[in-house]
């Protein structure tokens, strides 16, 4: 795959950074001001290097102007793309709908990518765009990281707008981060009471890979409305990670050895207080006991009881 940015020097640099992160080559020609020529050169480069997919990234605007429309039409006529997708910022509200209509009148695009969509607050833009241009919304962006791009499912969006959550998407994100071998190793550690802070840290890293914390909370039925006016920092685990990283290997493996002097050192090293260290240790102990219980007969009995309630 090759991504080709046809102009905007600053955006070209950003695209190169993103390309490096996901191991996708980015073709650009900063000295060239002809977007049609750059697009053609990008396709020629892809063919010469054996790439089978080319994404042409064109300039974005908050408002529609004739010059831009002419350039876009010229690029389309020159390269004859197999698919044309319109990327729109959901935060612009009604302007997003107007811009989508203007672009569709010129390009007759195939679908829409809706970005900066946090579920229940801006879902209306998805409905409005679909009704005005009558083109499918194919993907949505719910954050700045690559894992925040999702396939658009109308029924799931309707559930989130109504405050019913989106458990299916939440499960799918969890499954993407699920490692069966690691899960088996973790299960054995729990059974032998060997679950430590290094294991806990791995679980945190997996949760962080699932995406924006507020977006994840919005997928839980009923939580969307409760979290509406609450700002959840993407670095919500930062303090916990700092505390764990301030522990020695022996302390992370065997938390029971952490006494008052060790707590003081850990708090100082992590920039937190002894109270926060105590709180984490208490929560970790409670979680370990619960996980141990779920591995044993009580966990099986609980699952059987839940199945009987269906």
In the chain, CATH 3.40.50.300 sits at 2-166
pLDDT for residue 301: 46
In the chain, CATH 1.10.260.30 sits at 176-299
Kindly state the percentage of the chain with pLDDT values over 90: 23
Strand pairing class (111-115; 85-89): parallel
For residue 306, pLDDT beyond 50: no
> What are 216's two structure tokens?
């994840």
What's the rounded mean pLDDT across residues 58-84? Answer: 84
∠ CA 296-299-300 to the nearest 5 degrees?
90
What CATH architecture applies to the domain 176-299? Orthogonal Bundle (1.10)
Alpha-carbon dihedral angle through residues 83, 88, 90, 96, given to the nearest 10 degrees: -120
Mean pLDDT of the chain: 76
What's the rounded mean pLDDT across residues 189-200? Answer: 78
Strand partners, 113: 87, 139
Fold for the domain defined by 2-166: Rossmann fold (3.40.50)
């Amino acid at each position: 795959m090759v991504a080709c940015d046809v102009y905007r020097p600053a955006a070209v640099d950003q695209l190169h950074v993103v390309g490096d992160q996901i191991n996708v080559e980015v073709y650009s020609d900063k000295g060239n001001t002809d977007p049609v020529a750059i697009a053609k050169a990008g396709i020629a480069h892809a063919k010469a290097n054996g790439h089978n997919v080319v994404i042409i990234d064109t300039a974005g605007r908050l408002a529609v102007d004739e010059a831009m429309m002419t350039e876009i039409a010229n690029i389309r006529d020159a390269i004859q793309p197999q698919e044309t997708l319109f990327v729109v910022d959901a935060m612009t509200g009604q302007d997003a709908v107007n811009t989508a209509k203007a672009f569709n009148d010129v390009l007759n695009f195939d679908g829409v990518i809706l970005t900066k969509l946090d579920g229940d607050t801006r879902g209306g833009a998805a409905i409005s765009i679909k009704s005005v241009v009558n083109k499918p919304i194919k993907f949505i962006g719910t954050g700045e990281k690559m894992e925040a791009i999702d396939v658009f499912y109308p029924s799931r969006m309707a559930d989130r707008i109504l405050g019913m959550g989106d458990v299916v998407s939440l499960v799918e994100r969890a499954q993407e981060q699920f490692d069966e071998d690691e899960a088996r190793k973790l299960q054995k550690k729990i059974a032998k009471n060997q679950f430590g802070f290094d294991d806990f840290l791995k679980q945190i890293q997996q949760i962080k890979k699932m995406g924006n914390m507020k977006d994840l909370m919005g997928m839980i039925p009923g939580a969307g409305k409760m979290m509406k006016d609450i700002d959840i920092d993407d670095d919500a685990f930062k303090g916990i990670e700092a505390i764990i990283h301030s522990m020695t290997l022996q302390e992370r493996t065997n938390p029971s050895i952490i006494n008052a002097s060790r707590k003081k050192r850990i708090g100082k090293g992590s920039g937190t207080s002894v109270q926060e260290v105590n709180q984490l240790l208490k929560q970790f102990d409670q979680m370990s006991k619960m996980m141990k219980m779920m591995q044993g007969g009580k966990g099986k009995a609980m699952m059987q009881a839940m199945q009987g309630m269906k």
